[in-house]
Amino acid sequence: MITPVEVITRTRDKQALTEAELRSFILGIGDGSVEHNQAAAWLMAVRLNGLSKQETVWLTQAMIDSGEVVDLSSVDGVPVDKHSTGGVGDTTTLILAPLVAAGGGKVAKMSGRGLGHTGGTLDKMEAAGLRVDLSSEEFLHQVADIGVAVISQTAKLVPADGVLYSLRDVTATIDSVPLIASSVMSKKLACGAQAILLDVKYGDGAFMPDLDSARELAKLMVEIGNGLGRRVMAALSSMDQPLGAAIGNALEFHEAIEVITGRKKNTALERVSCQLASRLLYLSGVCATLDDAEKKVSELLSSGAAAEKLKQLIEAQSGDPRIVDNPDLLPQAPVVHQVLAKEAGYLKSLAARQLGIAGLKLGAGRLRKSDPIDPSVGLVLKKRVGDKVEVGDVLCDIHAANQESAKLAEAEVLKSVTLSEKAVEPPAEVSEWVE
């Protein structure tokens, strides 16, 4: 049996590991027999030297095998899942999950919480009063019954990744593509989905800085999923400006309701959500062609079937389905402060990361997983990149707990805005698809 030191040495010296060697090391991280300082040393070796595609597949499978795996074999059809690499104003799950379920798909999704400038689906759901800590039995029953469940991941899934993820954060190894890919895919695959759609963000508000790096990550994750017997597709989508107008948990749920009920049409959020939903229906086999899937999604929105499925999801997870018809029942901040344009021009940029930080300063996000959040606060953008701006136009509404925090957020909002004298093209929404 190879020792942890030997594994570290071989990766340090750019020597390939066998599946058995890598598996032994990763399972040891999961059960505690490999020390954290040894795991940290190996992470730095990987960060500097990389892993082969085959080693990355083996790493992913070993992380899956370090804990429990959700068994979705009792669910009729092909269970599907979607994962985003994180963004600002990205509320697609709350739209596409009911959409896909209304179309006959089975959405079995385990999501995460927001951290830093990025939002988390679970926080948005809890802001609307939904329960996210369903048991495995409740989770399976709900997927079988109404076709969709969105819950928190249990600590028993991929424990080795939990250790490695925490160490990556403090060892400057978080930007390693093989480590990112195996971390994301191990969690998705352990959740039991047979078809997975990845939304890989790039740009100002995303983890991947540009399209090329996002493409590299997407291709590797697709190859991992395919190598482990799943159908996987990835979208490469821009995060140079927030996807939706709302930033903040209850506000983002409100916007998702506006989109799924048709009260807010032809927005970037609607277009991207529909593209993702169509791909999921196609990947799952519910629709034979992508054209069929796109037509079906359009019909589900216009008929109200998707909105009704959202009501079912809310009720099943102990929320109040009346919020779909009356989103004003959602938590509301006591202060609404308008940010006005101080000069005229065309909106050239809305820095997503800066706007995410504004939300963070209002209390909509957290720096540590244990930090509390205020579900009611956030921002609602009134202008998008490419829009013409006149002096005095409202750039955004700040929803705050008090005037002091609103003023702090306003300073961040103004930092995010750049104007141009000439007309500007908005950034691409989805640039490419990787299969």
Would you call 388 helix, strand, or coil by DSSP? strand
Residue 379's nearest CA partner among 365, 361, 399 is: 399
Is 168 among the residues known to form the active site? yes
Is 161 among the residues known to form the active site? yes
Is 325 among the residues known to form the active site? no
Is 182 among the residues known to form the active site? no
Structure tokens at 424: 């500007």
In which region does residue 114 sit, left (phi positive, over 0), alpha (psi from -120 to 50) or beta (all else)? beta
Q: How many other C-beta atoms can be found within 10 angstroms of the C-beta atom of residue 291? A: 11
**CB neighbour class for 212 (10 Å; exposed up to 12, middle 13-18, buried from 19):** exposed
- Active-site option among 83, 117, 124, 230: 83
Q: Are 164 and 179 in contact (CB under 8 A)?
A: yes
Q: Are 299 and 318 in contact (CB under 8 A)?
A: no
Identify the bridge partners of residue 269 per DSSP, sorted by sequence position. none
- Active-site option among 81, 90, 161, 397: 161
* Per-position DSSP letters for 413-424, written without gaps between them: HHHHEEEESS--
Is 83 among the residues known to form the active site? yes
* Per-position DSSP letters for 208-257, written without gaps between them: B-SHHHHHHHHHHHHHHHHHTT-EEEEEEEE-SS-SSSEESHHHHHHHHH
- Active-site option among 82, 109, 187, 311: 187
CA atoms within 13 A on the CB side of 279: 23
Would you call 107 helix, strand, or coil by DSSP? strand
- Active-site option among 24, 66, 111, 183: 183
Q: Are 51 and 122 in contact (CB under 8 A)?
A: no
- Active-site option among 10, 23, 113, 168: 168
* Per-position DSSP letters for 126-145, written without gaps between them: HHTT------HHHHHHHHHH
Active site residues: 83, 161, 168, 183, 187
